[in-house]
Amino acid sequence: MPYVVTEACINCKHTDCVEVCPVDCFYEGPNFLVIHPDECIDCNACVPVCPVEAIYADDELPEEYSHYSEWNTYLSTQWQEAGYVITEKKDPLPDAEEWKTKAKNEDDIQTWEDAE
C-alpha cells in the first residue's frame, strides 16, 4: 500500500515530505512531486507533515483522486529514469500560497519536457 501524492501538491510543491522520507522515494517535476510505489515502504512519515494534505495511502484515496495512483506510478518512473529524485527540502514554489485555494487538476501537472 504505497502512498500517493494528489492534486493539492500541484503548483505548491512543498517538500516537507521529502525531508522525513527514510527511503528517498519522492521524485520531482517542475510543479509537482510524486512517490514511486515500488520504493515506498508505507511508513506514513510524509502524511502528517504535508502542509496541503496532498498525500494519501493508496487504499484510502478519495474517489475523486483515485487516478493519481496511476499518475504517481507513471511520473515517478519517468522522473526516476531522468534522475529527478528529490532528497532534501527546498522552498515551495513562489506562488504556492496563492495556488492553495485555486482549482486545479492533473492537466496542470507539468513534466520536464513541458518546462524546457
What is the C-alpha to C-alpha distance for residues 97 and 56, in angstroms, rounded to an integer?
21
pLDDT at residue number 115: 67
The string of pLDDT tens digits covering residues 37-59 is 999 999 999 999 999 999 999 99
pLDDT at residue number 116: 59
Contacts of 90 (CB under 8 A, 6+ apart): 13, 15, 18
Residues of the chain under the 50 pLDDT cut = none
Q: Which domains does the chain have, with CATH numbers?
A: 3-89 (3.30.70.20)
Of 67, 85, 73, 70, nearest to 29 (Cα)?
85
pLDDT at residue number 43: 97
